[in-house]
Structure 1
Amino acid sequence: MNNFQKCPLKIYIQDIFRAKRSAENKYIYEIFGMNFKNIMIHGVVTSVYNITATSSNLEISDLTGSVQVYFDSSKSNHKIAEGTLKDLRREYTSASQFGDINIDIMNTLMSKITDASKRVITEGSYLSIIGDIFVDETKNVRMVSAFECSETSEQRDIVWMEELRYLYEKFYLWEKE
């Protein structure tokens, strides 16, 4: 089955539970006449639990509902390899010792890179999540397995809701002839 949307479908959380599971493939879902595998949702973290060094479970909510999310940061595309981080630190140290004119820019970049690797998700954080819908068979509950989890802001969440309103009105719910 190759007739599904290749990029994440932007949806409200309530539509995770409204989507119909495909009969051919349990990882493909259908809503608004579109087949999809990956989703993108935004919301605020209302709960964080089962925290380990690389993974955690979250509950994220938007204006339409809440969903449980499993996030394993070791599988994230944003993870920087330790060897790469060591190389960056060595280059930064060399540049700072020899008076590189771009040291201020390098300092800012190094701070952003090291801060991102230490980031901890807390209750009240606004997140953008890309992942797959899956069913926890033990509880028969739909959840999201996140492979990208980015911190956003309250302002970005408001813009997101406006984007979704436009998408639903112009593309998802329009009258098909």
Structure 2
Amino acid sequence: MDIVPNNFQRYPMKLYVQDIFRAKRSEHNKYFYELFGLSFKNIMVHGVVTTLYNKTNNSTNLELSDGTGTVQIYYDWGKRNKNVSKEMMKSLHRDFVEQLRYGDSNLDIKSKMMTAISETKQEPANFDVGSHLCVIGDVFIDGLTGTRMMSAYECTVTNVERDIVWLEELRYLYEKFYLRSKE
């Protein structure tokens, strides 16, 4: 029986790549991991793409390195949180036209939101080897090789400056929260 731990992190836990491999699988739920006395399912890592392979129209595999290690990542952008289906867009447009007809007082705000939703890029794999990425996803173990990997549901291109800020942020989190939670 899978049990959700009491100390479960509801937001992605920010980690160095090396800690993906240091975390222990939870005894109570095979989808959760434990590190520093905290249980988590989702993680966030930053790094540089060192390899891209098996790229198709819907997915790709990549390796991401952050200086502490390298992790293999599977990214299926058809399953990412930012995709909006054609049916949903039709429904949103229909509702928007209906609100235009009846004169909604929040029309300006709704118009800007509709534009932002419509302009959401549907081609998220806009990165290559050497790109800096922020990756959010789950840890899993590949059944064929037994290798610990990440299944990404969001990959965002960053830059070297953002990675420097990320490293400072992680240093602070490790010092003030993660390592203290073990004491």
Q: Which amino acid aligns with 1:71?
A: Y
Does the aligned pair in 1 maintain the 2:36–2:182 contact within 8 Å?
no
What is the TM-score normalised by the length of structure 2? 0.78
- Once the 2 structures are TM-superposed, how far is the Cα of residue 82 of structure 1 from its aligned partner? 3.1
Unaligned 5+ runs, structure 1: 92-101
Structure 1 partner of 2:160: 154
- Once the 2 structures are TM-superposed, how far is the Cα of residue 78 of structure 1 from its aligned partner? 1.0
Structure 1 partner of 2:173: 167
Q: How many residues align?
A: 159
Unaligned 5+ runs, structure 2: 97-107
What is the TM-score normalised by the length of structure 1? 0.80
1:18 and 2:36 aligned: no
- 1:110-152, Cα deviation, whole Å (9 max, x unpaired): 7x936x3234321111111111100012111100001111111
Q: How does 1:61-72 map to 2 (within 5 A)?
A: 61-72=65-76
Change (3 A) 1:20 1:176: closer
User: Which of 106, 109, 124 lines up with 2:130 in the alignment?
Assistant: 124
Does the residue aligned with 1:41 lie in a helix, a strand or coil?
strand
Q: How does 1:13-52 map to 2 (within 5 A)?
A: 13-52=17-56
- Once the 2 structures are TM-superposed, how far is the Cα of residue 174 of structure 1 from its aligned partner? 1.9
User: Which of 141, 145, 148 lines up with 1:142 in the alignment?
Assistant: 148
Change (3 A) 1:176 1:76: closer
- 1:9-61, Cα deviation, whole Å (9 max, x unpaired): 00000000000011221111100010111101111111111111111001001
Q: Distance in 2 between matches of 1:157 and 1:82?
A: 35
Percentage of matched positions with identical amino acids? 54
Q: Distance in 2 between matches of 1:140 and 1:39?
A: 19
Change (3 A) 1:122 1:176: closer
- Please give the root-mean-square deviation of Cα atoms over the aligned residues, in Å: 2.3
Change (3 A) 1:147 1:175: closer
Does the aligned pair in 1 maintain the 2:63–2:72 contact within 8 Å?
yes
Q: Which amino acid aligns with 1:38?
A: N
